[in-house]
């Protein structure tokens, strides 16, 4: 996928005059040539800039992507739907109630898996004194959500906006990556298998069959997943299936259909795996999005 801004995205760069507000039309071009339209609204201030992106359609879950060059320090927050952040060999599932900090200069790409609304808060260098050195996932409290929404509106004085940013950052709570972070192997054959499973998470082939399909040994592939992803192939496949199910939960598909589509023989086993690895049920994730 490529992002093609129609009018430029200067509004996303900190340093705009106070009260600057702009609507940018963006065309997102997919492999098949189809266009997905996003509406971007931005408000620039002296120390930060915030913009809101409304995606009418998804890009899909898996595709060949090119990381965008590193940008200023930014906090990505999803208010509805789901997006996936690609940073190096790692992927984060961003759902309502979660925000991802991306350090300055880190190549990344964030794409919608379903129709989504997201916010990006970018900071000028050195301001504020909040700068995790690595991508970090945070919980967004109800107060933090209201502050993010308010920061995206025009008419705020710089002093008031700065105080709101400080309060917002104090409200963020670090979340563990487990369940929302899907690391990708880097070994060529293991990576081909991982991409195959992301394209079709319901594929029932065993590790031996997968290894044979890429002309590798079962032992070599198993070691690659364990060493490079920190988990066994079986656990990685479970996480990939749960990861792939999240966008489906944002639709009207019954949980039974979602479970079958990602490879579970019964909804009960899917719900148990979801609760065990993600700490909630599919219904709780679905209802959490719809109540926003």
Write the CATH number for 285.
1.10.10.60
Task: State whether 190 and 160 are in the same domain.
Answer: no
Sign of torsion over alpha carbons 225, 229, 230, 234: negative
Angle CA(267)–CA(181)–CA(288) in degrees, nearest 5?
55
Tell me, what's the pLDDT at 111? Answer: 78
Tell me, what's the pLDDT at 155? Answer: 60
Tell me, what's the pLDDT at 68? Answer: 53
Q: Which residues of 143-171 are buried (b: 16+ CB within 10 A; e: fewer)?
A: ebbebbeebbeeebeeeebbebbeebbeb
Tell me, what's the pLDDT at 115? Answer: 77
Give the domain extent around 272.
184-290
The domain total for the chain is: 2
- Contact present, 90 and 109 (Cβ < 8 Å): no
The residue to which tokens 């919980």 are assigned? 139
Structural tokens at position 213: 């399909």
Output helix, strand, coil percentages for the chain, rounded to the nearest 5: 35, 25, 40
Nearest to 242 by CA among 209, 280, 212: 280
Task: State whether 125 and 232 are in the same domain.
Answer: no
Task: State whether 108 and 198 are in the same domain.
Answer: no
The residue to which tokens 């005059």 are assigned? 17
Tell me, what's the pLDDT at 202? Answer: 96
Residue 34 located in a structural domain: yes
DSSP secondary structure of 157-202: -HHHHHHHHHHHHHH-EE---TTTEEE---SHHHHHHHHHHHH-TT
Task: State whether 18 and 158 are in the same domain.
Answer: yes
Residue 209 CB-density burial (10 A; 0-12 exposed, 13-18 middle, 19+ buried): exposed
- 169: Cβ–Cβ under 8 A, 6 or more apart, which residues? 128, 130
Q: What is the DSSP letter of 213?
A: H
CA atoms within 13 A on the CB side of 245: 30
Task: State whether 169 and 195 are in the same domain.
Answer: no
Task: State whether 18 and 52 are in the same domain.
Answer: yes
Helical (H) or strand (E) element with 78: strand 73-80
Choose the final residue of a domain: 142, 174, 206. Answer: 174
Sign of torsion over alpha carbons 182, 64, 70, 22: negative
Structural tokens at position 256: 């039974």
What is the mean pLDDT for each group of 10 consecutive residues in the chain (292 residues)? 31 33 44 47 67 68 47 83 81 84 84 80 72 86 87 67 84 73 90 94 96 95 94 94 88 93 95 87 74 44
Tell me, what's the pLDDT at 215? Answer: 94
Tell me, what's the pLDDT at 158? Answer: 64
Residues 276 and 271: their CA atoms lie apart, in Å, by 8
Write the CATH number for 53.
2.60.120.10
Task: State whether 243 and 113 are in the same domain.
Answer: no
Tell me, what's the pLDDT at 140? Answer: 86
φ, ψ (nearest 5 deg) of residue 2: -130, 145
Tell me, what's the pLDDT at 116? Answer: 81
Residue 123 located in a structural domain: yes
Structural tokens at position 63: 């595709």
- Contact present, 138 and 99 (Cβ < 8 Å): yes
Task: State whether 27 and 116 are in the same domain.
Answer: yes
Tell me, what's the pLDDT at 194? Answer: 95
Task: State whether 151 and 269 are in the same domain.
Answer: no
Structural tokens at position 154: 């025009």
Choose the final residue of a domain: 174, 199, 220. Answer: 174
């Amino acid at each position: 996928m490529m992002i093609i801004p129609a009018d430029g995205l200067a509004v996303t760069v900190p340093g705009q005059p106070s009260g600057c507000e702009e609507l940018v039309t963006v065309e997102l071009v997919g492999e098949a040539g189809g266009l997905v339209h996003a509406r971007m609204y931005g408000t620039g201030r002296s120390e930060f800039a915030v913009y809101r992106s409304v995606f009418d359609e998804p890009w899909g879950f898996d595709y060949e992507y090119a990381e965008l060059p590193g940008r200023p320090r930014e906090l990505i927050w999803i208010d509805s739907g789901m997006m996936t952040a690609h940073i190096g060999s790692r992927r984060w599932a961003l759902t309502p109630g979660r925000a991802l900090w991306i350090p300055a200069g880190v190549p990344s790409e964030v794409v919608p898996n379903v129709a989504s609304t997201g916010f990006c808060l970018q900071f000028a260098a050195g301001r504020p004194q909040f700068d995790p050195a690595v991508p970090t996932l945070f919980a967004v409290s109800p107060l933090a959500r209201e502050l993010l929404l308010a920061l995206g509106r025009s008419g705020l004085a710089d002093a008031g906006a700065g105080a709101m940013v400080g309060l917002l950052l104090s409200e963020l709570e670090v979340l563990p990556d487990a369940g929302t972070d899907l690391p990708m192997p880097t070994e060529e054959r293991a990576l081909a298998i991982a991409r195959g499973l992301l394209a079709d998470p319901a594929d029932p082939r065993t590790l031996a069959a997968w290894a044979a399909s890429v002309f590798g040994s079962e032992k070599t592939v198993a070691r690659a997943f364990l060493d490079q992803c920190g988990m066994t192939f079986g656990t990685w496949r479970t996480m990939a299936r749960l990861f792939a199910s999240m966008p489906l939960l944002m639709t009207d598909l019954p949980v039974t259909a979602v479970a079958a589509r990602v490879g579970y023989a019964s909804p009960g086993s899917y719900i148990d795996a979801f609760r065990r690895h993600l700490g909630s049920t599919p219904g709780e994730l679905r209802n959490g999005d719809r109540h926003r």
